[in-house]
């Protein structure tokens, strides 16, 4: 594996010429260059050429949001009898760790063997969260075009943690149009319905018989404009699905996304219990993309493996509490292949 650093960027290239570019800004994924069925390489990750565009860009392009990815209702949660107040930055709610969360920070970095590791130290009280927390994002790129992200964290006081990566995919190549004709398959027979501010109502519901059903693969856009309230709320898909068979610490298949046009496919495995599918419903108006490309709505899809939104306020959900002496550890694998 060839790993080179230039400025704030790391480029990992395998012997087949497929490569990944990572950034110290938000410990982010800047590009993923993989072959189509004919062997032609293209960048399947949306992003920007200007590093400054990654800061406070709206879509959280390619970066790791934190301390808590996704939404926390009304920016409040109670832990061990103490109520914590977080900044509101998404309607009435707190989103992705707040307006100055992990995705906006420059992480420390180093090369470790054939991997790149990023570290961020979040001080007690930052964006309202309790405890000094050390977060580490460890990326490996394989000869088989698999990108493995391992996220760990430790804290000196009880806190809540939920980490993911917010990369947007277009398997025909970034800037090539919408992903509505991409095929998507989710290993998820239930999803979390939400209120009109996209906070889960509580219990999951079956996807069967609804536009949320991707148990059998179908085009992303087939039902995206269906007369279905959850899709109206999000202007498309922006919900958390419950991964079938998820067990703490165990890798489980979560999703497959592919383009029948290019033949590029990504299969996603994770230790996390949920996957937020966001079809880039508000990408229009974001900073200019790579090579001057202007991204429109649905030009990319984010498949964010994570714990459930609003978990700190939902004791029935898998816990996101991290206590001193414990280690938060979750993994996501993006495995790139081709299909005929």
Q: What class, spelled out in words, does domain 2-338 have in CATH? A: mainly beta
Write out the H or E segment, with its range, that includes residue 83: strand 82-85
pLDDT at 340 over 90: no
Average predicted confidence (pLDDT) for the chain:
98
Give me the mean pLDDT over the 8-29 stretch. Answer: 98
Write out the H or E segment, with its range, that includes residue 1: none
| Phi, psi values for residue 81, rounded to 5° | 85, 0
Write out the H or E segment, with its range, that includes residue 275: strand 274-278
- The residues pairing with 85 across neighbouring beta strands, listed in sequence order, are 76
- How is the chain split into domains, by residue range? 2-338
pLDDT in tens, 265-299: 999 999 999 999 999 999 999 999 999 999 999 99
From the list 94, 117, 154, 166, the catalytic residue is 166
From the list 104, 126, 154, 304, the catalytic residue is 304
Q: Residue 104's closest CA among 86, 85, 122?
A: 122
Give me the mean pLDDT over the 305-327 stretch. Answer: 98
User: Is residue 185 a contact partner of residue 214, using CB atoms and an 8 Å limit?
Assistant: yes
pLDDT at 124 over 90: yes
> In whole angstroms, what is the distance from residue 246 CA to residue 256 CA?
16
Give me the mean pLDDT over the 87-116 stretch. Answer: 98
pLDDT in tens, 128-168: 999 999 999 999 999 999 999 999 999 999 999 999 999 99
Residue 296: per-residue pLDDT: 98
Tell me, yes or no, if 166 is annotated catalytic.
Answer: yes
Give, in degrees to the nearest 5, the angle at Cα 168 between 166 and 171.
Answer: 145
Q: How, if at all, do strands 159-160 and 321-322 pair?
A: antiparallel
Residue 269: per-residue pLDDT: 98
Using a 10 angstrom Cβ sphere, with 0-12 exposed, 13-18 middle and 19 or more buried, the burial of residue 301 is buried
Q: What is the pTM of this model?
A: 0.98
pLDDT in tens, 194-208: 999 999 999 999 999
pLDDT at 255 over 90: yes
Cα distance between the two ends of the chain: 28
Tell me, yes or no, if 239 is annotated catalytic.
Answer: no
Q: Residue 275's closest CA among 194, 203, 187?
A: 187
**In the chain, what's the furthest Cα-to-Cα distance?**
59
> In whole angstroms, what is the distance from residue 180 CA to residue 203 CA?
29
Helix, strand, or coil here: 258? strand
CA 38, 142, 47, 179 dihedral sign is: positive
């Amino acid at each position: 594996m060839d790993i080179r650093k230039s400025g704030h960027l790391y480029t990992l290239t395998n012997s087949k010429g497929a490569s990944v570019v990572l950034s110290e800004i938000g410990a982010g994924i800047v590009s993923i260059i993989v072959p189509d069925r004919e062997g032609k390489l293209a960048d399947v990750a949306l992003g920007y050429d200007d590093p400054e565009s990654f800061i406070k860009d709206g879509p959280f392009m390619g970066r790791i949001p934190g301390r808590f990815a996704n939404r926390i209702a009304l920016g409040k949660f109670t832990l061990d009898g103490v109520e914590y107040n977080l900044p509101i930055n998404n309607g009435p709610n707190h989103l992705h760790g707040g307006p100055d969360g992990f995705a906006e920070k420059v992480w420390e970095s180093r090369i470790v063997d054939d991997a790149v590791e990023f570290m961020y130290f979040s001080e007690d009280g930052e964006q309202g969260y309790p405890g000094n927390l050390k977060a580490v994002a460890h990326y490996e790129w394989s000869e088989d075009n698999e990108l493995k992200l391992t996220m760990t964290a430790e804290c000196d006081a009880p806190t809540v943690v939920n980490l993911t990566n917010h990369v947007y995919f277009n398997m025909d190549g970034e800037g090539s149009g919408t992903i509505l004709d991409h095929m998507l398959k989710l290993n998820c027979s239930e999803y979390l319905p939400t209120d009109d501010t996209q906070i889960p109502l509580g219990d999951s519901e079956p996807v069967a018989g609804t536009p949320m059903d991707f148990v059998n693969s179908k085009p992303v856009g087939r039902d995206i404009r269906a007369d279905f309230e959850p899709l109206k709320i999000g202007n498309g898909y922006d919900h958390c699905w419950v991964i079938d068979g998820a067990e703490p610490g165990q890798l489980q298949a979560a999703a497959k996304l592919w383009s029948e046009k290019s033949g590029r496919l990504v299969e996603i495995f994770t230790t996390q219990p949920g996957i937020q599918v966001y079809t880039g419903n508000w990408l229009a108006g974001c900073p200019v993309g790579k090579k001057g490309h202007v991204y429109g709505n649905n030009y990319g899809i984010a498949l964010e493996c994570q714990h459930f939104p609003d978990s700190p306020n939902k004791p029935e959900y898998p816990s996101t509490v991290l206590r001193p002496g414990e280690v938060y550890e979750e993994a996501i694998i993006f495995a790139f292949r081709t299909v005929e």
